[in-house]
Amino acid sequence: MIVNLPKLTREKGIRRQVVFPDIVPTMALENDLLAIYMETVKIWRDGIVSLLLPSYVQPSAIVTDASPAETASIIGRIFAEGEMRIIYQTPKLARWVSRVGAWNGEKTISAARSATGVEIAPYMRLIDIQPQLDEAIRLNVSMFRTINADTRSRIENIMADAIVNRRNKKYVTKALSEALGISQRRARNAAGDQLHKLNVALTSIRNQELGISRFKWVTRGDGKVRPLHVTYGGKIFRWDKPPSDGLPGFPINCRCTARSVFGDDDG
């Protein structure tokens, strides 16, 4: 704990329960991360258009081999280029997580100021959340590699099927386009999921450093909310003792958020 906000609030004469507004990530932050993810997908798109499709010749009844060795070599080259791109993406990712850290800090400062009138800006330091930022970089790099490897697997299966079943180029082009569509959707889902996980992780650690031990679970209130999370909605939990499936935003593609809560029994 770097400062006891509940105690400072009581000293200002505020005795009611204090509830912060939930900190909801912006679409701009999500799109910025998605743009980094899409660099890997773009490697595959460019490689398919410039290398893989031009090399494909539909097997005929006479020519039974559409050069599977050449096809495998091209796919391997595209995959390797994607892996190399991930190395260059990492500094961009580091800058992105730092921006999310700064943004989350600003939102926490604003929430505390509007709810209590207490100024906590002097206590919001990036160094205090560096472990969470480093972990976010590691998780996203791992996801980059997963998407790259999964894309390779889908492309290999399509090309193997094309050669064995003598597919024409129109069929192959459509199948490859659909495979890239899957990768793009995975990138979009991953970007949103990783942003929500990082945001709630930062909110959790910062609240606990401020002496705030509890939060209220908030759902989106629509049909996409998990049935289990519907039962969590509006309930109070401790940051250090969340439900069995984790904090809001931690389960895959969870869109729930947390509102910091404290009162006379805190601090």
Instruction: State the pTM of this model.
Output: 0.90
Write the DSSP assignment of 185-218 as a string of letters.
HHHHHHHHHHHHHHHHHHHHHHHHHTT--EEEEE
Structural domain includes residue 39: yes
Model confidence at 1: pLDDT above 80: no
The two three-digit tokens of residue 222, written as one number? 């629509």
Structural domain includes residue 179: yes
pLDDT classification of 131: cutoffs 50, 70, 90:
very high
Model confidence at 66: pLDDT above 90: no
Residue 210: predicted pLDDT: 93
Give SS3 for 170: helix
> From start to end of 36-86, where are the E strands?
none
> From start to end of the chain, where are the E strands?
18-19, 214-218, 236-238, 257-262
Query: For residue 101, what are the domain limits?
Result: 5-11+18-262
Give SS3 for 216: strand
pLDDT digits (tens, 9 = 90+) for 16-29: 889 998 899 999 99
Structural domain includes residue 92: yes
Structural domain includes residue 107: yes
Cβ distance 133 to 101 under 8 Å?
yes
Number of folded domains that form the chain: 1
Structural domain includes residue 267: no
Residue 193: predicted pLDDT: 94
Structural domain includes residue 189: yes
Cβ distance 44 to 151 under 8 Å?
yes
Percent of the chain residues topping a pLDDT of 70: 96
